[in-house]
Chain A
Amino acid sequence: MNQPRKWIRVTHCHNIPLREGRAVKAGNHEVAIFNLGDRFLAIDNRCPHGGGPLSEGIVSGPTVVCPLHAWKVNLETGSVTSPGNTRPCLATFSTRVENGVVSIEVPIESATNEDVPADCIAHGGVASWLTSSRLANG
């Protein structure tokens, strides 16, 4: 549970345009970072439905719409808000901005220590979680 985490500096703020997302590979994770104007939010970049790249989605308030089948994921909690309203399903990452650079906080461990959120059963979330981890391990 209490995995060691680490803040890593990712990129200059202006590289992530307003109300858009960008994908970044951070160790085992592909993370989508979004610029909401007043803050940045970071989330696992795989839609729990079909693995779609959330970073390419349209931002709607604090939600991103997956470009493949329009699943909606709340960027603050990692939960799917449409269809249905599931418990948190995707990992989210803390962000901060220092000197114009966005940083995210990621676990430094390999995938074996990762804890899959227990509520991720809905919509085949577990499978896609594992797949994405395995892919990331490459």
Chain B
Amino acid sequence: MKKLVVVGNGMAGVACVEQILKHAPQFEITIFGDETHVNYNRILLSSVLAGEKSVDDITLNDLQWYGRHNIRLQLGVRVVDLDFERKAVTADDGSVTPFDKVLLATGSSPVMPPIEGIEKDGVFVFRTLDDTRALLARARKGLRAVVIGGGLLGLEAARGLQLQGCEVTVVHLMDTLMERQLDFAAGQCLKSKMESVGIEVLLGRATSAIVGGRRVEAIVFRGGTSIRADLIVVAAGIRPNVELARMAGLRVNRGIEVNDYMETSHPDVFAVGECVEHRGICYGLVAPLLEQGKVVAATITGNKGPVYEGSVQAAKLKIMGVDVFSAGVFNEEAPGTDVVRYEDPALGIYKKLTLSDGKLAGAILVGDTSDSHRYMGWLRSGQDLASVRHKLLFPGPAEDSGLDIAQMPDTETVCGCMGVTKGTIIHAIHEQGIQTLPQLKECTRASTGCGSCTDLCQQFLKAVVPEFQEETKRTLCKCVPFAEDNLRDILRSQKLRSVQEVLDIYGNGQGCEICKPALSYMLDMLWCGGHDEDRSARFINDRVHANIQKDGTFSVVPRMRGGVTSPDELRRIADVAERYRVRMVKITGSQRIDLLGVQKSDLPKIWADLGMPSGQAYTKGVRMVKTCVGTDFCRFGVQDSTSAGIELERRLENLYTPHKVKMGAVGCPRNCAEATVKDIGLVGQEGSWQVVVGGAAGKKVRKADLLITVGTTAEALEAAEVFFQYYRENANYLERSYDFVERLGIEKVRKETAYATDAAKSALLDRLRKSKALARDAWLERDVPKVATQFVQIEPLEEVLA
């Protein structure tokens, strides 16, 4: 076996190794990485900073992968010498590793401009996972962050910091943003978009100094003006890491020079990625990696032949709500160049195509990037556009959504980051039996880069796999465009306690009838009742603790635990019904009594007169436990379901849940109180209880799944509580337990509740108890209303008629 040493454990190095592994095995491979992490997706660091993805989400190759392929991985170690005489590399830990071939994938580093004070505490760069972690550790609500550099990375860093709660200003040397990818008009359009999401942009500012004590305090511009800064990110460009190559005597210009076979000036050394210079170009993007990797893999394994001829440069800004795409070149002055432009400033849409000799040379899209893959296809293929010239910017709606993808040639690249073509994807689907997006990602790597081709990949799956079900990352709503599990993480880590704070930082500042109640619930659940309650974010039922009816009156349902009441309670209910002229008194399906047609202003008096707690019949919360008479009276009862049901209701009442929770407890399998069609049911049997979950007898009828069978009532109650809290913490808002259990699968639910470790179970129970300790009977607000005028009819201070 020959020895291959790979210097660099980033996307480029590992992408090449993956290609080399596709050839017949002939190398013992050692990979050196000076970062301490396995290969991760560097492009998505901005999503980690934004809190949209976790570190695990962006891992590309886990440790098992290295092990599976017998790759020796040296992390946190930097190669400092490349010795051709001894044919060995020396690392900064003193180790010497012999090689037959070397692959350099050393990447690039942030450029640090010579600014006075740049070494101060509080100045960061944004390049690695550690940089991102350091930023996350420092960034917090209310800090003033300044990003130096208005390029792709700087803008993404700015948005990430803003989502961490910072007030952000982007300072750019040039007079337009992303000037290497955008023209002036597009840059202006981008600027106003950044401003509209709340990020300040200062153009044409040269930073002359960073001032402060040990820590940064302000940034000073040439000309003398300054702005306050608690935190500074330098994103002023990148520079290829060439020192190792230069010291080894390889030919180096701006990057390490390589030919079309990815060979350097030494026959045993190859180079790929951001550290190379190919035909005079240094690429700072992932897109060419796979193309380069395939070529180098062929060359290095003795299959020299394929050549790399350069890539179309493309950039896509990954900021939600700020769509920017740019590809190719924009030399408008060159002879034979035509420019096609479309602009709608009010909508913030700007599109420009540059054509050279009738072929597409460059594309800029701001505000609407939905056609970017079409333009990338034209750029790569270099096809003559005469036949589509009249509708370059307007493809017109495709009558058949499958038509668009059917028309794509097999050679067209779908995933620019990973260099995956339509042909590869279709082949994988047919040959490997792929049915889901995660499978497709794992098999082809498509859509594991920036993720902008995810939609397209889904379309392929939809078109080719008959049983394909779309994987949709459902976001909460348009106001707060995050998936709910993401949001829960964000709110917890950012310690946000009020709905308006969340809307201001992560949303559009306004909110709507969908997100406001959802966020209210989430905050209540996450902080176990210790959130800042804002009634304006609650649906009317949760402001007045009664259910609004079609005529604007309300219904009142007092709590009757287990459906058990008393003559005294019934007398009070009867008195109230008469005293307040209740229009209808009705026995509900939940073994309770409903008083219908009540005026809002009467509610506090009625609650007081009833002297019973709220039954929460108006809210997404704990409704009731329906019971049978169990062993008390029934000839067949084998468990005391009445007491068990009352106890369960007592333990969970006054708590809020993603959707309503109706429960039941029955004393024998005859199931008289229908426990098997409840969200949580206790089904008594001789000597044991079955705890069942996810039942339904509403819009949908579903028999509950068996969670666990236990011997004692205490165990049954605890199992129900564990599931209850697990549902509270993991279901999406308005997701009933039966949809939740179906979505996760009962096996997973069981594993994480009934069969979870004792530690996990007691953690769930602890949080439940904590919430319960702060939970109050909502009807006690009759004495101390949360909002003074909640139940008061406001009378004008003066009459209308004079």
Are B536 and A17 closer than 8 Å at their CB atoms? yes
Q: Which residues of A contact B510 (CB under 8 A)?
A: 60-61
Q: Which residues of B contact A25 (CB under 8 A)?
A: 793, 795-796
Given contacts A10-B794, A15-B792, A58-B516, 6 further A-B contacts (CB under 8 A): A11-B797, A17-B787, A25-B793, A26-B796, A52-B552, A108-B801
Complex Cα–Cα for A57 and B792 (A) = 16
The answer to whether B388 has its CB under 8 Å from any CB of chain A is no
The answer to whether B511 has its CB under 8 Å from any CB of chain A is yes
The answer to whether A22 has its CB under 8 Å from any CB of chain B is yes
The answer to whether B799 has its CB under 8 Å from any CB of chain A is yes
The answer to whether A23 has its CB under 8 Å from any CB of chain B is yes
Are A53 and B797 closer than 8 Å at their CB atoms? no
Q: Which residues of A contact B137 (CB under 8 A)?
A: none
Q: Which residues of B contact A11 (CB under 8 A)?
A: 794, 796-797
Pairs A-B, 6 closest by C-beta atoms: A27-B800, A61-B510, A19-B536, A65-B513, A56-B540, A60-B512
- Most A-side CB within 10 Å, residue of B513, B543, B797: B513
Interface residue from B511, B539, B552, B797 paired with A60 (Cβ < 8 Å): B511
Complex Cα–Cα for A52 and B802 (A) = 30
Are B796 and A24 closer than 8 Å at their CB atoms? yes
Given A27-B801, A61-B510, the answer on whether A56 and B548 have CB atoms closer than 8 Å is: yes
Q: Which residues of B contact A53 (CB under 8 A)?
A: 552
Task: Supply 9 A–B pairs (Cβ within 8 Å), ascending by A.
Answer: A8-B798, A8-B799, A17-B787, A25-B796, A27-B800, A56-B552, A67-B540, A106-B800, A108-B801
Q: Which residues of A contact B801 (CB under 8 A)?
A: 27, 108
Complex Cα–Cα for A23 and B29 (A) = 75
Given A16-B789, A17-B789, A67-B539, the answer on whether A6 and B802 have CB atoms closer than 8 Å is: yes
Q: Which residue of chain B has its CB nearest to the CB of A58?
A: B513
Q: Which residues of B contact A124 (CB under 8 A)?
A: none
Given A17-B787, A59-B536, the answer on whether A68 and B800 have CB atoms closer than 8 Å is: no
The answer to whether B788 has its CB under 8 Å from any CB of chain A is yes
Complex Cα–Cα for A101 and B797 (A) = 9
The count of A-to-B residue pairs whose CB atoms sit within 8 angstroms is 88
Q: Which residues of A contact B513 (CB under 8 A)?
A: 57-58, 60, 65, 70
Interface size class of A (residues with CB under 8 A): 35 or more
Are A9 and B511 closer than 8 Å at their CB atoms? no
The answer to whether A111 has its CB under 8 Å from any CB of chain B is no
Given A18-B536, A60-B512, the answer on whether A8 and B796 have CB atoms closer than 8 Å is: yes
Q: Which residue of chain B has its CB nearest to the CB of A11?
A: B794
Given A10-B794, A15-B794, A60-B512, the answer on whether A68 and B550 have CB atoms closer than 8 Å is: yes
Q: Which residue of chain A has its CB nearest to the CB of B500?
A: A19
Q: Which residues of A contact B552 (CB under 8 A)?
A: 51-53, 56
The answer to whether A20 has its CB under 8 Å from any CB of chain B is yes
Q: Which residues of A contact B516 (CB under 8 A)?
A: 58, 60
Q: Which residues of A contact B796 (CB under 8 A)?
A: 8-11, 24-26
Complex Cα–Cα for A53 and B788 (A) = 19
Interface residue from B538, B540, B543, B795 paired with A24 (Cβ < 8 Å): B795
CB 8 Å contact bits of A1-45 with B (1 = contact, 0 = none): 000001011110001111110111111100000000000000000
Are B794 and A58 closer than 8 Å at their CB atoms? no
The answer to whether A50 has its CB under 8 Å from any CB of chain B is yes
Which residues of A in the span 75-128 have a Cβ within 8 Å of any Cβ on B?
101, 106, 108
Given A15-B788, A23-B793, the answer on whether A108 and B536 have CB atoms closer than 8 Å is: no
Q: Which residues of B contact A51 (CB under 8 A)?
A: 551-552
Mark B residues whose CB is within 8 Å of A: 479, 510-513, 516-517, 535-540, 543, 548, 550-552, 787-789, 792-802
Are A65 and B512 closer than 8 Å at their CB atoms? yes
Q: Which residue of chain B has its CB nearest to the CB of A16?
A: B789
Q: Which residues of B contact A56 (CB under 8 A)?
A: 540, 543, 548, 552
Complex Cα–Cα for A87 and B799 (A) = 31
Query: Smallest distance from the beta carbon of A24 to chain B beta carbons, Å?
Result: 5
Q: Which residue of chain A has its CB nearest to the CB of B512?
A: A60
Q: Which residues of B contact A52 (CB under 8 A)?
A: 552
Complex Cα–Cα for A9 and B552 (A) = 26
Query: Smallest distance from the beta carbon of A92 to chain B beta carbons, Å?
Result: 17
Q: Which residues of A contact B536 (CB under 8 A)?
A: 17-20, 58-59
Query: Smallest distance from the beta carbon of A131 to chain B beta carbons, Å?
Result: 12
Query: Smallest distance from the beta carbon of A65 to chain B beta carbons, Å?
Result: 4
Query: Smallest distance from the beta carbon of B139 to chain A beta carbons, Å?
Result: 28
Complex Cα–Cα for A58 and B513 (A) = 6
Complex Cα–Cα for A8 and B252 (A) = 82
Q: Which residues of A contact B792 (CB under 8 A)?
A: 15
Complex Cα–Cα for A28 and B543 (A) = 27
Query: Smallest distance from the beta carbon of A118 to chain B beta carbons, Å?
Result: 25
Interface residue from B517, B539, B789 paired with A15 (Cβ < 8 Å): B789
Q: Which residue of chain A has its CB nearest to the CB of B536?
A: A19
Query: Smallest distance from the beta carbon of A135 to chain B beta carbons, Å?
Result: 11
Q: Which residues of A contact B512 (CB under 8 A)?
A: 58, 60, 65
Q: Which residues of B contact A106 (CB under 8 A)?
A: 800
- Most B-side CB within 10 Å, residue of A10, A19, A106: A19
Query: Smallest distance from the beta carbon of A76 to chain B beta carbons, Å?
Result: 14
Complex Cα–Cα for A52 and B552 (A) = 6
Q: Which residues of A contact B799 (CB under 8 A)?
A: 8, 27
Q: Which residue of chain A has its CB nearest to the CB of B792?
A: A15
Query: Smallest distance from the beta carbon of B657 to chain A beta carbons, Å?
Result: 20
Interface residue from A19, A22, A67, A68 paired with B794 (Cβ < 8 Å): A22
Query: Smallest distance from the beta carbon of A11 to chain B beta carbons, Å?
Result: 5
Complex Cα–Cα for A47 and B515 (A) = 22
Interface residue from A9, A27, A50 paired with B550 (Cβ < 8 Å): A50
Query: Smallest distance from the beta carbon of B60 to chain A beta carbons, Å?
Result: 41
Are A23 and B794 closer than 8 Å at their CB atoms? yes
Q: Which residue of chain B has its CB nearest to the CB of A17?
A: B787
Query: Smallest distance from the beta carbon of B114 to chain A beta carbons, Å?
Result: 46
Are B548 and A67 closer than 8 Å at their CB atoms? yes
Query: Smallest distance from the beta carbon of A129 to chain B beta carbons, Å?
Result: 17
Are B794 and A8 closer than 8 Å at their CB atoms? no
Query: Smallest distance from the beta carbon of A45 to chain B beta carbons, Å?
Result: 9
Complex Cα–Cα for A49 and B500 (A) = 29
Q: Which residue of chain A has its CB nearest to the CB of B793?
A: A23
Complex Cα–Cα for A11 and B543 (A) = 21
Q: Which residues of B contact A15 (CB under 8 A)?
A: 788-789, 792, 794
Query: Smallest distance from the beta carbon of A56 to chain B beta carbons, Å?
Result: 4
- Most A-side CB within 10 Å, residue of B552, B787, B792: B552
Complex Cα–Cα for A56 and B797 (A) = 21
Q: Which residues of A contact B797 (CB under 8 A)?
A: 8-11, 101
Complex Cα–Cα for A90 and B227 (A) = 48
Complex Cα–Cα for A51 and B543 (A) = 20
Given A11-B794, A15-B794, A17-B535, the answer on whether A22 and B800 have CB atoms closer than 8 Å is: no
Are A108 and B794 closer than 8 Å at their CB atoms? no
